[in-house]
Amino acid sequence: MTRSEFERLIARLGEAWAAGDATAAADCFADRVDYADPLRYRFGSRAELELFFEPPPGGHTTTWHRILFDEATQTGVVEYTYVGHHTYHGAAIAEPDAEGRIARWREWQHLDDGRDWEAFLAGRV
């Protein structure tokens, strides 16, 4: 996968979440996937992700602040803000498979309903 292809995949994922299309969001991931916040949850299949990605009342959005991709290791990193039931600021490491879907996703995020991304990074209350 190239950097450009990875950026398109991440953009497609964000667009699917914004549209409330859990099926399209889950389709960005491999059928057998390792998707986790190492301390809170883990999913192993696209079908599990489809349920996890169902939008809350009022919908949800993701803003990608930074998208990096190392073609040599086939590893991407994203920084994001997710807004749904709550606002989360976080980062994820993503590894695509040979078919162009995400096979491994590790996310670390902070619940922060009171600050936008810039205030979060600056540590402002």
The 3 state secondary structure assigned to 7-38 is: HHHHHHHHHHHHHCCHHHHHCCEEEEEEEEEC
What average pLDDT does this structure show over 25-37? 98
- 68: domain range? 3-122
**Domain count for the chain:** 1
Checking if the pLDDT of 86 tops 90, the result is yes
At 124 the pLDDT is 78
Place of tokens 């349920």: 51
pTM: 0.93
CATH number, domain at 109?
Answer: 3.10.450.50
What average pLDDT does this structure show over 106-116? 95
Checking if the pLDDT of 14 tops 90, the result is yes
